[in-house]
Structure 1
Amino acid sequence: MFGKIPAKWMVVVSVLLGSFTMILNNSMLNPAVPQLMKVFEADAIAIGWVVTIFMVTMGMTMPLTGFLGDRFGKKRVYLIGLALFIAGSVLGSLSWNLSSLIAFRALQGIGGGIMMPLSMALIFEAFPRQERGLATGIWGVAAMVAPAIGPTLGGFIIETTSWHYLFWCNVPVGLAGLIIAYFYLPKTMINNQIKLDRWGFLFVTLGVGAILLTFGRMSELSHLVALPNLLLFAFGSFCLYVFVQIEKRVEQPLLDLTLFRVPAYTLSIWVSGVASIGLFAGVFLIPLLIQQVFHYGAIMTGLVFLPSALLSGIFMSIGGRTLDRRGVSGVLTSGMVIAAAGTLALGLMNLETTLFFIFAMMAIRGIGIGFTMMPATTVGMNAIPEPTISRGSALTNVLRQMSSALGIVFISIYYEVRRGQVSAATGSLEAASLQAINEGFLIIGVLTALTIPAAYLLEKKSKIDEASGIKKASGH
């Protein structure tokens, strides 16, 4: 069946199936929250743990994947991660109470935390430097399309069948990904000399876990000043500070923080992080706009996301191909300009705004994010020495996970606070919701616009840092 597909492209197919299944499942669960509240007779805060625990355990696992991939082989560890995710899906569908469901979601998160950084590392190992843009662009389609179709598919499953199928539907695709990965992922080098940075692992796990948990507990203004959240955030920040001090001194660091000395890598973290914040802010705001302001259903919400997802996937591939053929020049800057324009335009809506306008602006945003997110990550990863790819991928994914969570927390709290203020002043909840959504898009649009110079600098720095990365790699 796959005989005519080059082996390196089978690597992309393998990791794309796994990544798509994992991201799709997570986005499908959001519309299921009201149903799960009824099934388990729990409030929204308790059910919120079903979503939060996945984000937390995924973020806590990611820092370890660079070490695991180098020590035991990327293929073996990736297969274990995907198998854990599938096992968590099967067990999740068999959950007998809320505690068991949360535990199995945590298992899914551990599997996802292993898979995501290694997916990128496996692609980088399979493709030469000049072909990675297109490969990562095609793989990145999973990250764009899955969040767009997930809520609609999840809503359809909830309305027509049972919540159990939210987990069962992962199994066939996951198993297909596991089988293809087993046969087509190449075995990678194993370094038996690597030692685990135990203290670094302890403090980064506690730090990332505590901060992501804090973000997961916040959805309104009062949560920002709640003592447990303040203490949890302070504890997480302290642990990360200790982690940084440990990494400066240890001979074999868990995450190589010296990568931040490579300007292109650092700039790529910033650019892709802002693009990620913009993506997930839209995922949060658009359902509120379509359902609460314009009073359409979940299916229309999904349709609004569809052009954005498709165009982001197409232009992610175009941007990757352009990156491979002509270099990064112009791709990232134009992507940020387009994303900023589409986002700012969504901040100018009124109650007479047509669905066509929303479709069009979401499509423009999709083009901009597609041109920006994966190409920026690829440029940054290309600029670091080849032996550090696993650690660099883990660090990139940890920071992107935290920036996405921060973006959702900020936008959700801003929305609740502003809607309450405007509603009290005007007496119209509909108008208040629209104004809060408009302002949210304007804030994200301004942040995106302010990042355009960083994208331009990344284009300039990338050529210099790529050359130095090659020299460092050859010197190892």
Structure 2
Amino acid sequence: IAAMTIAMLLNDWCVRSFGMRVTYIGAMGIFIFGGLMGGLSNNIDLVILARCLQGIGAGIAQPLAMVLILQVFPVEQRGRAMGLLSVGIMAAPAMGPTVGGVLVDAFNWQYVFFMSVPVPAIGIFLATIFMPGKEQARRLPEFDWTGLVLVSLCIVCSLTGLSSGQREGWGAPIISVLFSVGAVSGVFFVLWELLTPNPLLQVRVFVNRKFSASIIVGLVLSLGFYGSAYVVPLFVQTIQGYSPTRSGLLMIPGGVFMMLMLPIAGRLADKLPGYQMTLFGLGVYGCSSLLMMQAGTDTAFWVFASWLMLGRLGQAAMMPTMMVTAVSALKQEHLSQGAGALNFMRNLGGAIGVNVIAVTLLQRTAFFSDAFAGLQTPDNSATQHFMSQLGHILSQLGWPFEMTHSGVLYLIGSSVYSQASMMAFRDVFLFIAVAFFVAMFPALLLRDWQPKPKSPSALAARSG
């Protein structure tokens, strides 16, 4: 995700330098090479490098679709177009976990990489036919190498600090250095982009009220999108013992439902005020996360799937509206930069969100584990009764007498950890819900505070 986030900032320069067609074909070529490298890898370092290459290819190509839509469709049809685009965006996350789970269960993980090759290959073939080429030959524009180094340092150091803080200790010197370098490079990146004549990211677009509000909502939307894709399969595999295939199947109903709702949401985005659709989506997704707090070891498959479907309804209401509202507030010459900035911030929110969720899950699991373990004392009658029952069961299973006590302690520890993990997952779902409810405040900034001028016919009817 970090590589894809950084690569999105390269899109504007690549399009101005080489045109849309060459940019897309080059990006998909990098993606295919990464897929083949990952499938042929025999160590974790090559796998990480392959995923970075795939992220770079996807990051360069992703903003192109939005820019094309803004250039082809008139303002009154952009919501419908964004809804159709969102269907394509959601098709892969809906089907990907299931296909990946089947491949892992039936074959091995290398096939997950190999299966990522055919789709971009088809995309390259279609791009040679339909995508526009470079308008005219001209000298390559200057590239903002300083900005690229600064933003890369900021993102890589910050995410590395977040992901390593629990393992190394949040007060460890290396973690402090990582966060310090990330913060300083981030500040210098913003200052440099304000001063350089050829910025990698046009920071001035954030002055627009609607654009900035859309960015904040997009960050939260990415938190829910990437967060649910991470935490829900992890929950059902850890707590309920689902296989990778079954956990992938759990995500399909919500993804299919969202794909059906997105065209409808796109049409509504052309007719209803953007802030109303956004508030509705944020509220619905927040309620979906609150419902997931009730999940336990015996939660039925379709009950969990219905909660996910409710959340996907909220996401469907927000996605086309957010994209249309954000870019419609910008000038024509800033559309490419604005689309890149929107996608950059959205994926940055997802990268940070997944790391924050992972850290929160680890911390809350450790907290509840310590709390529950402290209750397992010799004078706790419930614990003593549970231990005697476990010892009796192990004896009936034929365990040697000298190993029964250690086996009972192991089972007690596993039970405590499972209960702690379930409580930690509930706290994570609460965190996501609170984030969506809080995002309702910046969503109000999407409203047009000045009343629209009335039509001449309405004024004539009123005077008459």
TM-score, normalization: structure 2?
A: 0.81
Equivalent residue in structure 2 for 1:283, among 229, 233, 237: 229
2:122 aligns with: 176
Q: Which runs of 4+ in 1 moved over 6 A?
A: 461-464
Q: Deviations over 1:132-176 (max 9, x none)?
A: 222222222343342343233222112212333222212221111
2:4 aligns with: 58
Equivalent residue in structure 2 for 1:415, among 361, 372, 394: 361
Contact 1:332 1:459 in 2 (8 A): no
Contact 2:31 2:54 in 1 (8 A): yes
1:272 aligns with: 218
Contact 1:221 1:413 in 2 (8 A): no
Aligned counterparts of 1:108 and 1:85: Cα–Cα separation in 2: 4
Larger deviation, residues 136-145 vs 163-172? 136-145
2:402 aligns with: none
Q: Label 1:297 to 1:399 Cα distance change in 2 as closer, same or farther (>3 A).
A: same
Q: Percent identity?
A: 27
2:146 aligns with: 199
Equivalent residue in structure 2 for 1:209, among 156, 163, 168: 156
User: Number of matched residues?
Assistant: 409
Deviation (angstroms), 1:222: 4.6
1:471 aligns with: none
1:458 aligned partner, one-letter code:
L
Contact 1:206 1:239 in 2 (8 A): yes
1:331 aligns with: 277
Q: Label 1:89 to 1:295 Cα distance change in 2 as closer, same or farther (>3 A).
A: closer
Aligned counterparts of 2:210 and 2:318: Cα–Cα separation in 1: 14
Contact 2:209 2:445 in 1 (8 A): no
Task: Find out whether 1:458 has 2:446 as its counterpart.
Answer: yes
Q: Label 1:373 to 1:367 Cα distance change in 2 as closer, same or farther (>3 A).
A: same
Contact 1:312 1:371 in 2 (8 A): no
Q: Label 1:214 to 1:329 Cα distance change in 2 as closer, same or farther (>3 A).
A: closer
Contact 1:86 1:108 in 2 (8 A): yes
Aligned counterparts of 1:354 and 1:453: Cα–Cα separation in 2: 35
Aligned counterparts of 1:226 and 1:65: Cα–Cα separation in 2: 37
Question: What does 1:441-456 correspond to in 2, within 5 Å?
Answer: 441-456=429-444
Q: Label 1:357 to 1:221 Cα distance change in 2 as closer, same or farther (>3 A).
A: farther
Deviation (angstroms), 1:216: 4.6
Deviation (angstroms), 1:367: 0.2
Q: Label 1:226 to 1:313 Cα distance change in 2 as closer, same or farther (>3 A).
A: farther
Unpaired runs of 5+ residues, structure 2, are 374-415, 453-464
Larger deviation, residues 160-169 vs 357-366? 160-169
Equivalent residue in structure 2 for 1:390, among 336, 353, 361: 336
Q: Label 1:99 to 1:421 Cα distance change in 2 as closer, same or farther (>3 A).
A: closer
Aligned counterparts of 1:277 and 1:446: Cα–Cα separation in 2: 12
Aligned counterparts of 1:147 and 1:461: Cα–Cα separation in 2: 37
Equivalent residue in structure 2 for 1:360, among 306, 323, 329: 306
SS, match of residue 239 in structure 1: helix
Contact 1:140 1:316 in 2 (8 A): yes
1:42 aligns with: none
Aligned counterparts of 1:322 and 1:151: Cα–Cα separation in 2: 30
Task: Find out whether 1:157 has 2:103 as its counterpart.
Answer: yes
Larger deviation, residues 380-389 vs 99-108? 99-108
- Structural RMSD (CA): 2.4
2:72 aligned partner, one-letter code:
A
Contact 1:66 1:393 in 2 (8 A): no
1:401 aligned partner, one-letter code:
N
Q: Label 1:227 to 1:142 Cα distance change in 2 as closer, same or farther (>3 A).
A: farther
Larger Rg: 2
1:420 aligned partner, one-letter code:
A
2:417 aligns with: 429
Q: Label 1:161 to 1:441 Cα distance change in 2 as closer, same or farther (>3 A).
A: same
2:442 aligned partner, one-letter code:
A
Task: Find out whether 1:297 has 2:285 as its counterpart.
Answer: no
TM-score, normalization: structure 1?
A: 0.79
Q: Label 1:412 to 1:202 Cα distance change in 2 as closer, same or farther (>3 A).
A: closer
Deviation (angstroms), 1:268: 0.4
Contact 2:162 2:355 in 1 (8 A): yes
2:147 aligned partner, one-letter code:
G
Deviation (angstroms), 1:327: 4.8
Equivalent residue in structure 2 for 1:99, among 31, 34, 45: 45
Q: Label 1:462 to 1:432 Cα distance change in 2 as closer, same or farther (>3 A).
A: farther
Aligned counterparts of 1:386 and 1:167: Cα–Cα separation in 2: 38
Aligned counterparts of 1:463 and 1:65: Cα–Cα separation in 2: 37
